[in-house]
Every structure is written in C-alpha cells, then in structure tokens.
C-alpha cells in the first residue's frame, strides 16, 4: 500500500474505532442509567481519584458550566459526592461512591477479555507503538474537544 492509501485506511479505521467506542459506551451507560458523559466522568474519577470540577473539565475537555451540571446529575443519581477539601475549605472535591458502581464491573468483562486476546497477538515492540499512538491520539482528541467547547 502507498502512504496515501495507508493514511486513508487509518482515517477510516479511526472512524470505525470511534463509532464502536461510542456505541459500546452508550450501551454501558444505558445499563447504568447514565448518559455517556456521566459514565465517562465516573471512569475519570475511578482512574484518577477524587477531582475538582475544574480538573474534570481539564481532563475531559468539557466546558466548566457543562461539568457543573454533569456533577449535579451524578450526585442526584447517587454515583458521586461533593466533599470539602480538608486543607482549603473553599475547594470542593468530587469523589466516586464506589458502592454505587460495584455491580457494573462485570459489564466490561467480555470486552477486557477480548482486548487481552488481541494484545497477545502483538510483540512487545508493537504494543509499545500502539500504546504511543493511543496516548497521543487521545491528546489530539482532547485538544479538539476543548476547541469545540470553547
């Protein structure tokens, strides 16, 4: 394949991957009774720990006003709680209520097993290239989201 053909195939595969990810997380979110941005915010909190609203906005690329409403909805549904920072009482931190998500981990089991099987088909060097691409493309996507959300 020529470079132009490879780039076109990458573009198409990227679109297909994005669509598959959106549909998977739409299904997961629906099973949890959440919107997709709510589910992905829980993912951020699970991976990074308690965050302020500003930090959630920074990691997600969403506008701060959107994040406030998002946190309100998650708190109302019992998935997160707001707590005061013990060192700076003016600062509010959002933390996940782990008891509220305990039953949802099994929704990811088949997906995780499928990925582990896929990873086994690549060499360590190939996995390092894939890891680099995923990290860098996620940053490109976060930057594009921030531009759109202003």
pLDDT by residue (tens digit) across 41-99? 999 999 999 999 999 998 888 888 889 999 999 999 999 999 998 888 788 999 999 99
**How many CA atoms, within 13 angstroms, populate the side-chain half-sphere of residue 124?**
0
List helix spans (H) across the chain.
3-32, 36-48, 53-60, 64-76, 98-101, 109-119, 124-149
Q: What is the pTM of this model?
A: 0.82
User: What percentage of the chain exceeds 90 in pLDDT?
Assistant: 76
The Cβ-side half-sphere exposure at 121, using a 13 Å CA radius, reads: 4
pLDDT at position 46 is: 94
Ramachandran sector of residue 88 (left: φ over 0; alpha: ψ -120 to 50; beta: rest): beta
Rounded to whole angstroms, how far apart are CA atoms 141 and 15? 12
Domain count, the chain: 1
Query: For residue 136, what are the CA distances in angstroms to 43, 140, 147?
Result: 19, 6, 17
Radius of gyration of the chain (CA): 18
The pLDDT value recorded for residue 86 is: 84
The CATH number for 145's domain is 1.10.10.10
- How far lies 113's CA from each of 59, 72, 107, in Å? 27, 34, 11
pLDDT > 80? residue 110: yes
Q: Whole domain around residue 66: which residue ranges?
A: 3-149
- pLDDT score at 73: 96
Q: Quote the pLDDT of residue 81.
A: 97
* Residue 145: predicted pLDDT: 83
Confidence check: pLDDT of 105 > 80: yes
- Closest listed residue to residue 50, CA positions, set 74, 77, 24, 21: 74
Q: Does the pLDDT value for residue 150 go beyond 80?
A: no
Residue 25: pLDDT band by 50, 70, 90 thresholds?
Answer: very high
**Calpha distance 64→94 (Å, rounded):** 14
Share of the chain above pLDDT 70, in %: 100
């Amino acid at each position: 394949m020529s470079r132009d053909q490879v780039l076109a195939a990458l573009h198409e595969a990227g679109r297909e991957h994005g669509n598959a990810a959106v549909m998977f997380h739409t299904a997961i979110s629906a099973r949890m009774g959440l919107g997709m941005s709510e589910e992905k915010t829980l993912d951020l909190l699970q991976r990074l720990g308690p965050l302020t609203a500003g930090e959630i906005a920074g990691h997600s690329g969403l506008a701060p006003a959107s994040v406030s409403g998002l946190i309100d909805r998650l708190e109302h549904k019992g998935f997160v709680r707001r707590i005061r920072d013990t060192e700076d009482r003016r600062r509010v931190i959002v933390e996940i209520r782990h008891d509220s998500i305990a039953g949802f981990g099994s929704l990811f089991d088949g997906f995780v097993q499928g990925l582990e099987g896929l990873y086994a088909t690549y060499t360590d060097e190939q996995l390092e290239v894939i890891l680099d691409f995923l990290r860098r493309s996620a940053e490109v996507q976060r930057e594009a989201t921030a531009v759109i959300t202003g």
